[in-house]
Amino acid sequence: MTREEALDSVKANVENKNLVKHMLATEAIMHALAKRLGEDEEEWGLTGLLHDIDVELTEGDMNTHSRLGADLARELGASEAMAHAILCHNEAHGVPLEAKLDKALFCADPLTGLIIAAALVRPDKKLANLGANSVKKKFKEKSFAAGADRGQIARCSEIELELDEFIELGLKAMKEIAADLGL
Ligand SMILES: [Fe+2]
C-alpha cells in the first residue's frame, strides 16, 4: 500500500475533515516516533494515518470500532503488526498492547488532541508560535481538553520516552504539517 492509497481510503471512509486531520496528525507523530526510536517510519506513519479509518462506519460503537479498522487496513495491505496496533488502540476490546508499535499508537493518539486544543486557544489559532512549554502546562490542567486522556499520553514511558520529550517531538511533527492541519 502506498501512502496515497491509504490517504485516499481514509478520505473515502471519513467525511469529517477534523477526523481526517486527526489521522494526519497521528501519522506525523508516529513517523517522528519511528525516526526517534529507530523503527520503520513508513509502517508507523501508515498505522497512524489509518488508525481511525472506521470511526464513521462504526458510528461510535466501541465494540466494533478498530476491529473493522484493523480489517480495512489488512484489506489495504497492512501488515499484521499494523492491524494489531490499530485493533488494540481501542481498549474496549481488552487486547493488550504488546509491540512498541501498539504502545506508540496508543499514546500518540490523544496527544494530537491536546496539541490541537492548545493551538486553538491561542489568539492566532496557529501551531507556529505554540511553544512546547505551553503544551506541557496544558497537560497539567486536567480540565483543559479533558478528552485528551493524560494517563494515556503519559504511557509514552512504555516506549522509553520522557513525557517532555514526547510532547516536544509531537509538537514539532505537527508543526511540519501545519498547513495540512489548517493550523
Ligand atoms: Fe484516534
Residue 54 has a pLDDT of 97
What is the percent of the chain where pLDDT is above 70?
100
Residue 22 has a pLDDT of 97
CB 155 within 8 A of CB 106: yes
Residue linked to cell 471512509? 13
CA 110 to ligand 1 centroid distance, Å: 7
CA 62 to ligand 1 centroid distance, Å: 12
Residue 121 has a pLDDT of 96
The single-letter DSSP state of residue 127 is S
CA 52 to ligand 1 centroid distance, Å: 5
* Cα→Cα distances 89→59, 103, 129, 136, 181, Å: 17, 8, 31, 23, 22
Q: What is the dihedral of CA 175, 159, 153, 177, to 10 degrees?
A: 10
Residue 9 has a pLDDT of 98
CA 128 to ligand 1 centroid distance, Å: 23
Which parts of the chain sit beneath pLDDT 50?
none
Q: How far apart are CA 90 and CA 31, in angstroms?
A: 20
Residue 108 has a pLDDT of 98
Residue 74 has a pLDDT of 97
CA atoms within a 13 Å half-sphere pointing along the CA-CB vector of 166: 27
Helices (H), the chain: 3-13, 17-37, 41-50, 67-75, 80-88, 100-120, 132-140, 150-154, 163-176, 178-181
Q: Please tell me the total number of residues recorded for the chain in this structure.
A: 183
What is the model's pTM? 0.97
